[in-house]
Chain A
Amino acid sequence: MGGDVHIGCGAGFAGDRFDAAVPVVETLARHDGPRYLIYEVMGERTLAIAQRLRRVNPDAGHSPYLERYLSRTLAACKRHGIRIVTNMGNANPLGAARRVHALARDLGIDGLRVAAVLGDDLLTFMSPAEVAALPVVEGIGLGDADIVAANAYLGARPVADALATGADVVLVGRTTDAALVLGPLLHEFGWAADDWDRLAVGTVAGHLLECAGQVTGGYFCDPGFKDVPDLAKLGFPIGEVSPDGDVVIGKADGTGGQVSRATVCEQLLYEVHDPGAYLTPDVVLDMREVTLEQDGDDRVRVRGARGAPAPDTLKATVSVEGGWLGEATMAYAGPNALARARLAADVLRDRSGTIAPAETVRVEVLGTGAVFGNDAGEGPSYRGTPQWGEYLVRAAVRSADGAAVQAVVDEVQSLFCSGPAGGGGFRGGVSEQIRTASVLVPRAPVESRVRVEEVPS
């Protein structure tokens, strides 16, 4: 097994468990050879929110969770030579790099080397009008809405370039999630830019690892059908990749969770459309002949990924102002609760016509099949929904008119004194929204501007 690279994942979304990486690092520390820890903490909206923050304060706009994640692992990683690759850079990888140095000082870590990957922000060289003219492939039409952020998904090459500087920690902004894994593999193995099958292997490994616990039994357990041991101690994954492109998915020692063909299969197809053509900036992945084989306890071997030449465009996410979302609920419980909840819903529908006449207000009774229903309440209703039970009445509205949105939320609260008997537990709020679209942008103008910066302490 000499020469294998071990890559653990410490987080699969912004807000994932802050301490789950600790057993991953402890496990990696017991292995030899090149070892990496990745944190994937950036969603489409995370980046837009970060851009807004950066506009107000040029030092801001990186992950608000940086210290909460890295304070638990940075010292051990430095001590054991485990290199960290993460998109905690969000809209400001340089600012994040400076924060990592500050954290290292606080923790008494000497000689930490940090590098940042820059160049995913399209607005640094394109006008908003040019961005708005790019072809939309997913999500909303951009129209003339105010653009908050526009960032291209970079591939794994810049990550590998950053590792080549000798950095202990690499901070990126928008790259593909899989690039956090493929980057280290390119750096370690020197796979050629047109070695499509190996790039496909690294991309599959990245795709499986980047959602952290989703491949080790998290978001999987269905009691009595798909049981998972000790879910509360869910172990995060560690992938082992050989120079020839052999992949085994395992997990941190001494943890709960499970790595089985079934857990890996669910994650393999997660957010995949055509399994024969999963587009990334590095390779077009074909997983149609992928096989999964149990290779001991909590170990699954992944074979058969194929690659085809990468597309000549990059995907970019464009975020625009999205108005306001208001949501509110009130609970009804006990005898005749269903009738009281349904009456409350009728009251809200009636009142919405007066207080927010221009808006579509969704009013529903949770507990009756509403999650699967549509705005009109049509859908597969639950059989035998009892009158004596517990139900949440919910209203939701979106609009550019914040006052109308607030009025709908207030109306749910007013059920306290003006609605049916026994309503309790009002919860409600209004949040500012960001809408996104995926667009295609030519590679060359983006990639010619990508650069790696070593950030001194």
Chain B
Amino acid sequence: MNMVIAPLHEVAHGRAGDKGNRSNISVIPYSAEAYPHLLEQVTEARVLAAFRHKGATAVRRYELPFLPALNFVIEDVLEGGVNGALGLDQHGKALSFLLLGDIRVTVPAGCVRNWRHR
């Protein structure tokens, strides 16, 4: 199998939501074939590392094999959220793209969006 390294953004999509100072970010592979690779590589530890500078203290990953998708719940990442954040994006709406841009994964080439067009 032709494995390639790609930003998560080219393999999966997602959406961020906020509750208090906690964010949840879904990670949904474009191709179901990528799911086991994401399961192996997009770990709680790596996601925590991506958000540590924002104050994140813990990450919990929920697995949804029937969709398939992952759901990450990131504690204390919103710098106070709408109650206290000074940053422009108080809800952390853009954080899904921080995650998708920060993490790189190794997946079969067929799992990467637009791979053929480079």
Chains A and B bind each other: yes
Residues of A within 8 A of B (CB): 44-45, 138-140, 219-220, 222, 224-226, 262, 265-276, 287-292, 304, 322, 360-362, 364, 366, 370-375, 378-380, 394, 396-398, 435-438
Chain B, residue nearest A303 (CB): B66
* Distance from A216 Cβ to chain B, minimum over Cβ atoms (Å): 14
CA distance A418 to B24 in the complex (A): 43
What residues of chain B lie closer than 8 Å to A374, measured between beta carbons?
53-55, 79, 87
Q: For the complex, is B114 an interface residue (Cβ under 8 Å from A)?
A: yes
Q: For the complex, is B19 an interface residue (Cβ under 8 Å from A)?
A: yes
What residues of chain A lie closer than 8 Å to B79, measured between beta carbons?
374-375
The one of B9, B13, B55, B84 in contact with A262, judged by C-beta atoms closer than 8 angstroms, is B13
Is A266 a contact partner of B71 (Cβ separation < 8 A)?
no
The one of A289, A291, A370 in contact with B88, judged by C-beta atoms closer than 8 angstroms, is A370
The answer to whether residues A224 and B114 also contact, given A362-B87, A397-B86 and a CB cut-off of 8 A, is yes
Is A290 a contact partner of B66 (Cβ separation < 8 A)?
yes
Is A219 a contact partner of B15 (Cβ separation < 8 A)?
yes
Interface residues of B in 65-115 (CB under 8 A from A): 66-67, 69, 71, 73, 79, 81-84, 86-89, 94-95, 98, 101-102, 113-114
What residues of chain B lie closer than 8 Å to A226, measured between beta carbons?
13
Chain B, residue nearest A290 (CB): B66
CA distance A235 to B83 in the complex (A): 33
Chain A, residue nearest B50 (CB): A380
CA distance A255 to B20 in the complex (A): 35
* Distance from B58 Cβ to chain A, minimum over Cβ atoms (Å): 12
Is A222 a contact partner of B83 (Cβ separation < 8 A)?
no
Chain B interface main SS type = mixed
Is A266 a contact partner of B86 (Cβ separation < 8 A)?
no
What residues of chain B lie closer than 8 Å to A304, measured between beta carbons?
66
The answer to whether residues A138 and B22 also contact, given A379-B53, A435-B84 and a CB cut-off of 8 A, is yes
What mask results when residues 3 to 29 of chain B are scored 1 for a CB within 8 Å of chain A, else 0?
000000110011101111110101010
The answer to whether residues A396 and B86 also contact, given A139-B20, A271-B18 and a CB cut-off of 8 A, is yes
CA distance A45 to B114 in the complex (A): 41
Chain A, residue nearest B19 (CB): A138
* Distance from B111 Cβ to chain A, minimum over Cβ atoms (Å): 13
Is A375 a contact partner of B26 (Cβ separation < 8 A)?
no
CA distance A272 to B16 in the complex (A): 10
The answer to whether residues A394 and B88 also contact, given A139-B83, A374-B54 and a CB cut-off of 8 A, is yes
CA distance A275 to B73 in the complex (A): 11
What residues of chain B lie closer than 8 Å to A397, measured between beta carbons?
86
What are 26 sample pairs from A and B whose C-beta atoms fall under 8 A apart? A138-B21, A139-B20, A139-B83, A225-B9, A262-B13, A262-B30, A265-B67, A269-B26, A269-B64, A273-B62, A273-B71, A288-B64, A289-B66, A290-B64, A322-B83, A362-B87, A374-B53, A374-B55, A375-B79, A378-B53, A379-B53, A380-B101, A396-B88, A398-B84, A398-B86, A435-B84
Is B71 a contact partner of A269 (Cβ separation < 8 A)?
yes
Chain B, residue nearest A380 (CB): B102
What residues of chain A lie closer than 8 Å to B86, measured between beta carbons?
360-362, 375, 396-398
CA distance A374 to B87 in the complex (A): 7
* Distance from A453 Cβ to chain B, minimum over Cβ atoms (Å): 32
CA distance A313 to B103 in the complex (A): 39
Is B10 a contact partner of A225 (Cβ separation < 8 A)?
yes
The answer to whether residues A273 and B94 also contact, given A290-B67, A379-B53, A396-B86 and a CB cut-off of 8 A, is no
CA distance A366 to B87 in the complex (A): 10
Is B20 a contact partner of A271 (Cβ separation < 8 A)?
no
What residues of chain B lie closer than 8 Å to A437, measured between beta carbons?
20
* Distance from B55 Cβ to chain A, minimum over Cβ atoms (Å): 7
CA distance A372 to B88 in the complex (A): 9
Query: Which of B10, B79, B82 neighbours the largest number of chain A CB atoms within 10 Å of its CB?
Result: B82
* Distance from A398 Cβ to chain B, minimum over Cβ atoms (Å): 6
Is A138 a contact partner of B13 (Cβ separation < 8 A)?
no
What residues of chain A lie closer than 8 Å to B30, measured between beta carbons?
225, 262
Rank and list the top 6 A-B pairs by shortest CB-CB distance, nearest first.
A271-B17, A138-B20, A362-B86, A269-B26, A139-B20, A396-B86
Chain B, residue nearest A320 (CB): B83
The answer to whether residues A288 and B113 also contact, given A222-B13, A266-B15, A271-B24 and a CB cut-off of 8 A, is no
CA distance A272 to B26 in the complex (A): 9
- Besides A219-B15, A372-B94, 6 other A-B contacts (C-beta < 8 A): A268-B67, A269-B15, A269-B28, A269-B71, A362-B86, A364-B87
What residues of chain B lie closer than 8 Å to A394, measured between beta carbons?
88
What residues of chain B lie closer than 8 Å to A438, measured between beta carbons?
19-20
Is A275 a contact partner of B83 (Cβ separation < 8 A)?
no
The one of B19, B21, B89 in contact with A273, judged by C-beta atoms closer than 8 angstroms, is B19
What residues of chain A lie closer than 8 Å to B10, measured between beta carbons?
225
The answer to whether residues A269 and B83 also contact, given A139-B21, A276-B62 and a CB cut-off of 8 A, is no
